[in-house]
Amino acid sequence: MDEAAIWREMGDEGLRRLVAAFYRRIPGDDLLGPMYPAQDLVGAEERLYLFLCFRLGGDSRYPDQRGHPRLRVRHGPFRIGMAERDRWLQIMGEAMRECEVAPEVRVELEAFFAQVADFMRNQEPSQGGPPPFGQPAE
Ligand code: HEM
pLDDT at 124 (0 to 100): 79
pLDDT at 130 (0 to 100): 53
Q: At CB < 8 A and 24+ separation, what contacts does 74-81 make?
A: 75/120, 75/122, 76/122, 78/35, 78/122, 79/122, 79/123, 80/120, 80/121, 80/122, 80/123, 81/121, 81/123, 81/124, 81/125, 81/127, 81/128
Q: Evaluate whether 65 touches 50 at the Cβ level (below 8 Å).
A: yes
> Does residue 92 have its Cβ closer than 6 Å to ligand 1?
no
The pLDDT confidence band at residue 17, using thresholds 50, 70 and 90, is: very high
DSSP 3-state assignment of 52? helix
- Of 15, 26, 92, 94, the closest CA to residue 56 belongs to 15
Count CA atoms closer than 13 A to 52's CA, side-chain side. Answer: 22
Among the atoms of ligand 1, which is closest to the Cα of residue 32? 5
Give the list of residues 6+ apart from residue 70 with CB closer than 8 angstroms, or none.
none
The pLDDT confidence band at residue 2, using thresholds 50, 70 and 90, is: confident
- Of 72, 81, 76, the closest CA to residue 31 belongs to 81
Q: Evaluate if residue 138 carries a pLDDT over 50.
A: no
Q: Which residue has the CA at smallest separation from atom 34 of ligand 1?
A: 48
> Does residue 20 have its Cβ closer than 6 Å to ligand 1?
no
Domains of the chain: 3-119 (1.10.490.10)
Q: Evaluate whether 117 touches 78 at the Cβ level (below 8 Å).
A: no
Among the atoms of ligand 1, which is closest to the Cα of residue 44? 16
The pLDDT confidence band at residue 51, using thresholds 50, 70 and 90, is: very high
Mean of pLDDT over the chain: 92
The pLDDT confidence band at residue 3, using thresholds 50, 70 and 90, is: confident
Which is more confidently placed, 85 or 126? 85
